[in-house]
Amino acid sequence: MVGTLAKTHESASTSYSNAASLDARMAIFEAMQAYRATPEEKERSLGLFLRGSLLARLLAVADIYRQIVDLPGMVFDVGTWRGQTAVLCENLRAIYEPLHLNRRIACFDTFSGYAGFSERDKATALHADGTYALEGPDYAQFLRDLLVMHEKSNALGHNNGKHRVIAGDCRETIPQFFTDNPGEFIALAFFDVNSYKPTLEAFDLIYDRLVPGGIIAFWQLTRDVIPAEGRVYAENILGKVSHRIRRAETYPGLCYIIKSVSAQT
């Protein structure tokens, strides 16, 4: 093998790829690390090393984002982890609605790992309280600073600092956010919390503030390895909440519901 992947992330231990594909992945990674170019050339050459499966994720987020361009409201990223989806949404905002300076993004995460696993969940070595931990407050500040950097690099970059990165348990931080910001409502929310009770409580809070036609996207809805989102959907949304459901064309694991225009619940 060209290299080995650390077993601290499920992409290293849960894969549909064969050994040759995993070897090729490592070879691409090592080629990226060794690529000889100026920093400016490296930035402009990222497409050389972007694998198809990762590009599929980016295209899926873009496809969903385009559907809310004509809607007012915030973007929530619940379980943001490293914040890639939030950063993508800032740049998609700059591409598809560069004059919409009121499209604010709020990122929610403990930054110290998953929380809230209970008897309703299927805890594993990779998915349990405390796994996927980052550097806590230090990482939260890094993400705040990074979002501002992206804002400044985009059109009308002097209007920056509108996004929020909020550390803590989403069952506490989301209610507090709405207490502090009673006039805010939501056009799009991404979920990647992966434990049942936090997912359900956050969904109820966000759906009440979701505009008609707004979208809630679930990264793990149909994965039996991480059943929290699927169980919340089957037990509390399906047949009870007026909506349409779709899956992303390029990334089938990403599914999303669209709030019915006439929904009253």
In tens, the pLDDT along 170-182 reads 999 999 999 999 9
Q: In angstroms, rounded to a whole number, what is the distance separating the alpha carbons of residues 237 and 231?
A: 9
DSSP state string for the chain: ------TTSHHHHS-S--HHHHHHHHHHHHHHHH--S-HHHHHHTGGGT--HHHHHHHHHHHHHHHTTTTS-SEEEEET-TT-HHHHHHHHHHHHH-TT-TT--EEEEE-SS------TTS---SSSSTTTT---THHHHHHHHHHHHHHHHHSTTTTS----EEEES-HHHHHHHHHHH-TT--EEEEEE---SHHHHHHHHHHHHHTEEEEEEEEETTTT-TTS-HHHHHIIIIITTTS-EEEEE-SS-TT-EEEEE-TT---
Q: Are strands 210-218 and 74-78 parallel, antiparallel or unpaired?
A: unpaired
Q: For residue 48, what pLDDT is reported?
A: 96
Q: What amino acid occupies position 60?
A: A
Q: What is the pLDDT of residues 72-98, one digit of tens each?
A: 999 999 999 999 999 999 999 999 999
Burial of 137 (C-beta count, 10 Å sphere; 0-12/13-18/19+): exposed
Q: For residue 94, what pLDDT is reported?
A: 98
Average pLDDT over residues 238-249: 97
Domain definitions of the chain by residue range = 1-50, 51-259
Q: In angstroms, rounded to a whole number, what is the distance separating the alpha carbons of residues 28 and 1?
A: 13
Whether residue 8 has pLDDT greater than 70: no
Q: What is the pLDDT of residues 37-54, one digit of tens each?
A: 999 999 999 999 999 999
At residue 9 the predicted structure's pLDDT band, cuts being 50, 70 and 90, is low
Whether residue 21 has pLDDT greater than 80: yes
Residue 78 dihedral angles phi and psi, to the nearest 5°: -100, 115
Q: In angstroms, rounded to a whole number, what is the distance separating the alpha carbons of residues 195 and 115?
A: 7
At residue 262 the predicted structure's pLDDT band, cuts being 50, 70 and 90, is confident
Q: For residue 12, what pLDDT is reported?
A: 54
Q: For residue 108, what pLDDT is reported?
A: 98
Average pLDDT over residues 118-136: 92
Whether residue 263 has pLDDT greater than 60: no
Q: In angstroms, rounded to a whole number, what is the distance separating the alpha carbons of residues 34 and 31?
A: 5
Does 51-259 carry CATH code 3.40.50.150?
A: yes
Q: In angstroms, rounded to a whole number, what is the distance separating the alpha carbons of residues 137 and 9?
A: 21
The whole-angstrom distance between residue 65's C-alpha and the CA centroid of its chain comes to 12
- What does the mean pLDDT of the chain come to? 93
